[in-house]
Amino acid sequence: MRVDPEPGKRPQKNRASRPNSLSGTSYALFEELRRLRARLAKEESLPPYVIFSNKTLIEISCRKIRKRC
């Protein structure tokens, strides 16, 4: 049975887990890492999140570009 949140309230999302908070360069790197993760997951017959979570990919992207997300 699905329980809906209280009327008028939306579930909070962790800002660090939203790729749309990335700048253009960071987002491009995130997308490249996401494709790499998908390829590795397919080769190992695993779900992608087992390789790295989106949050981890975002952190890698931000640190590589040296931008705080």
pLDDT(59) > 60? yes
- Mean pLDDT along residues 37-47: 97
| pLDDT category of residue 21 using cuts at 50, 70 and 90 | confident
| Mean of per-residue pLDDT scores for the chain | 81
Q: For position 1, what pLDDT does the model report?
A: 56
Number of independent structural domains in the chain: 1
Report which DSSP code applies to 22: S
Q: Please name which of 3, 62, 55, 63 lies closest in space to residue 27, comparing C-alpha atoms.
A: 62
Note whether residue 29 is domain-resident: yes
Note whether residue 49 is domain-resident: yes
Note whether residue 54 is domain-resident: yes
For 8-44, b where at least 16 C-beta lie within 10 A, e where not — what string?
Answer: eeeeeeeeeeebeebeeebbebbeebbeebeeebeee
pLDDT(17) > 60? no
* Inter-residue long-range contacts of 45-52, CB under 8 Å, 24+ positions, other chains counted: none
Token pair recorded at residue 1:
């049975």
Note whether residue 12 is domain-resident: no
